[in-house]
């Protein structure tokens, strides 16, 4: 049963259209969501993909057949669905998006009341199983769909974290923002008048054909345009978003891409300066820099399985102030424990303003202390067998071996995490060391040889 609908992943729905996700399945997902959770009102939104509008229409139809009143907020980012769901008191929310995947993919991210995540363990696979068993009752009293926007409330909420007086004290920086032809520019254009910065937009128009490449700034080939724009405009910082803008990526004033790992530590320390003693959630892939910065700022670091639904569940369980993943997801307690790419770049803007230092200076020492491999992906045939072979190879001499998310091995002066992807058929490797890039590179190559 678990492989019958391959688009149902560990924490979202994602697959090729129409091979894995088609219109009939989208309608059935609406029916199954209504049957499983019995919501009264559900908010839906969509990204810029060419298939998103039609999927949105049939999803709404399925929800209506399940007796649900649907509020369609239209073209938006995932975090706008989260915000509408928790701020307007809706019983659920569904965002139609495939995030950073290619243009012929689509998917959905599901939440319940309060924007609580729906993962494999909290109802996502129950929705799938209802579809497989054809347990999709149509109620007698059909719901309706209304179209409404909450963007003004959303942008007010974002800027409300800082206050008008603080916003006026932000430095007049020049910022390059690459929306990747996704939806990020839609709210940014609405908040420009309240920020003292100069914004240089790139690929700002939503376009589901992605004429400038799939909006995935983690791909090295997609970084060059933002980097060059930072240099050309002598900008203070560059920001690049993925398609549904729940993730943002940063470039320093020299055009260098900054690994999300180091940004997590910066944001955590910034928030802890005003909220000492709070818990900070981080993923297992890279940990040493985050843990050191959190402890130094008086916080409590807590390790979690990666993935937006898992991180949100852990955020709620620990009542954490903030959570960050090296993949550039940033979660905030006051955003109903959800991820927000918009809040992340605004917080970094605040940090740059108050410190008076360029981004390169803020991360230089952290990068020296904890050099990293960057995430390396390999397509393999037998994930379990490889993980076991790697565990056996290192566990006898390791300081610790843990399994919070895949296999994490601490060798004292270096460590690594090896895990299978939750969304793609890949094995992912991350390696870090303590101030020894040569050691990190040697162990990285050693592990890659084992994986091959």
Instruction: Quickly state the pLDDT bin for 195 (edges 50, 70, 90).
Output: very high
Instruction: Quickly state the pLDDT bin for 30 (edges 50, 70, 90).
Output: very high
Record the tokens describing residue 405, joined without a space. 């998310």
Q: What pLDDT is stored for residue 1 in this prediction?
A: 36
From CA 92, how far away is CA 44, in angstroms rounded? 9
pLDDT digits (tens, 9 = 90+) for 200-223: 999 999 999 999 999 999 888 999
For the residues of 192-207, what is the DSSP string, one character each? Answer: GGGS-SEEEEES-S--
Q: What pLDDT is stored for residue 35 in this prediction?
A: 98
Residue 143 has pLDDT above 50, yes or no: yes
Residue 398 has pLDDT above 50, yes or no: yes
Q: What pLDDT is stored for residue 187 in this prediction?
A: 97
From CA 418, how far away is CA 437, in angstroms rounded? 19
Q: What pLDDT is stored for residue 243 in this prediction?
A: 93
The average pLDDT across 411-432 equals 91
Q: What pLDDT is stored for residue 20 in this prediction?
A: 97
pLDDT digits (tens, 9 = 90+) for 82-116: 999 999 999 999 999 999 899 999 999 999 999 99
From CA 268, how far away is CA 408, in angstroms rounded? 22
Please give the span between the terminal C-alpha atoms of the chain, in angstroms, as a whole number.
31
Specify whether the CB–CB gap between 226 and 178 falls below 8 A: yes
Record the tokens describing residue 133, joined without a space. 């068993």
The average pLDDT across 393-410 equals 97
Hey, how many other C-beta atoms are within 10 angstroms of the C-beta on 254? 11
What percent of the chain stands above pLDDT 70?
A: 99
pTM: 0.95
pLDDT digits (tens, 9 = 90+) for 320-358: 999 999 999 999 999 999 999 999 999 999 999 999 999
Of the candidates 388, 415, 386, 387, the residue with the CA atom closest to the CA atom of residue 399:
415
Q: What pLDDT is stored for residue 227 in this prediction?
A: 98
Instruction: Quickly state the pLDDT bin for 287 (edges 50, 70, 90).
Output: very high
Q: What pLDDT is stored for residue 4 in this prediction?
A: 78
From CA 102, how far away is CA 15, in angstroms rounded? 10
Instruction: Quickly state the pLDDT bin for 383 (edges 50, 70, 90).
Output: confident
Q: Which of 51, 52, 56, 99 is catalytic?
A: 99
The overall average pLDDT reported for the chain is: 96
Contacts of the segment 131-136: beta carbons below 8 A, 24+ positions apart = 131/5, 131/25, 131/28, 131/29, 131/32, 132/1, 132/4, 132/5, 135/32, 135/35, 136/28, 136/31, 136/32, 136/35
Q: What pLDDT is stored for residue 2 in this prediction?
A: 39
Any idea which residue has 């090295």 for tokens? 220
The average pLDDT across 187-195 equals 94
Q: What pLDDT is stored for residue 423 in this prediction?
A: 63
The average pLDDT across 361-385 equals 94
Specify whether the CB–CB gap between 440 and 340 falls below 8 A: no
Residue 3 has pLDDT above 60, yes or no: no
Residue 152 has pLDDT above 90, yes or no: yes
Is 99 designated active site? Answer: yes
From CA 177, how far away is CA 233, in angstroms rounded? 12
Residue 199 has pLDDT above 70, yes or no: yes
The average pLDDT across 368-392 equals 93
What is each CA distance from 435 to 182, 261, 414, 415, 440, in whole angstroms? 38, 15, 9, 12, 9
Residue 381 has pLDDT above 70, yes or no: yes
Instruction: Quickly state the pLDDT bin for 422 (edges 50, 70, 90).
Output: confident
Domains of the chain plus CATH, in order, are: 13-150 (3.40.120.10), 172-258 (3.40.120.10), 260-339 (3.40.120.10), 376-451 (3.30.310.50)
Q: What pLDDT is stored for residue 266 in this prediction?
A: 98
Specify whether the CB–CB gap between 267 and 284 falls below 8 A: no
Main-chain phi, psi angles of 285, to 5 degrees: -70, -50
């Amino acid at each position: 049963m678990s492989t019958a609908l391959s688009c149902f992943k560990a924490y979202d729905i994602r697959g090729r259209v129409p091979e894995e996700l088609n219109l009939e399945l989208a309608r059935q997902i609406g029916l199954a969501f209504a049957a499983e959770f019995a919501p009264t009102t559900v908010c839906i939104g969509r990204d810029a993909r060419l298939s998103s509008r039609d999927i949105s229409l049939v999803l709404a139809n399925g929800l209506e057949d399940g007796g649900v009143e649907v509020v369609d907020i239209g073209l938006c980012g995932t975090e706008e669905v989260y915000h509408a769901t928790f701020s307007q008191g809706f019983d659920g929310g569904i965002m139609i998006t495939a995030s950073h995947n290619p243009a012929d993919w689509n998917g959905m991210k599901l939440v319940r009341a309060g924007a609580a995540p729906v993962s494999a363990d909290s109802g996502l696979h129950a929705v799938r199983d209802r579809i497989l068993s054809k347990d999709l009752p149509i109620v007698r009293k059909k719901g309706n769909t209304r179209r409404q926007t909450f963007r003004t409330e959303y942008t007010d909420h974002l800027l409300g974290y800082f206050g008008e007086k603080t916003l006026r004290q932000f430095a007049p920086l020049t910022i390059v923002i690459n929306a990747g032809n996704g939806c990020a520019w839609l709210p940014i254009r609405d908040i420009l008048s309240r920020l003292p910065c100069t914004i240089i937009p790139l690929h700002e128009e939503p376009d589901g054909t992605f004429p400038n490449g799939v909006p995935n700034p983690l791909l090295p080939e997609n970084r060059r345009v933002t980097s060059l724009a930072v240099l050309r405009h002598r900008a203070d910082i560059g920001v690049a978003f993925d398609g549904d803008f729940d993730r943002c990526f940063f470039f320093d004033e020299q055009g260098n891409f900054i690994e999300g790992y180091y940004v997590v530590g910066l944001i955590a320390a910034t928030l802890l300066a005003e909220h000492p003693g709070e818990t900070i959630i981080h993923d297992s892939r890279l940990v040493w820099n985050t843990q050191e910065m959190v402890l130094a700022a008086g916080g409590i670091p807590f390790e979690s399985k990666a993935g937006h639904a898992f991180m949100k569940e852990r955020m709620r369980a620990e009542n954490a102030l903030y959570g960050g993943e090296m993949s550039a997801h940033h979660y905030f307690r006051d955003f109903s424990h959800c991820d927000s790419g918009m809040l992340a770049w605004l917080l970094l803007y605040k940090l740059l303003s108050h410190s008076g230092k360029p981004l390169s200076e803020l991360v230089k020492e952290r990068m020296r202390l904890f050099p990293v491999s960057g995430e390396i992906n390999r397509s393999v045939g037998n994930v379990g067998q490889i993980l076991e072979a790697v565990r056996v190879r290192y566990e006898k001499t390791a300081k610790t071996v843990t399994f919070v998310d895949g296999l994490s091995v601490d060798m004292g002066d270096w460590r690594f995490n090896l895990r299978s992807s939750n969304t793609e058929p890949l094995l992912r490797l991350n390696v870090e060391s303590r101030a020894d890039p040569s050691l990190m590179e040697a162990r990285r190559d050693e592990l890659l040889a084992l994986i091959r």
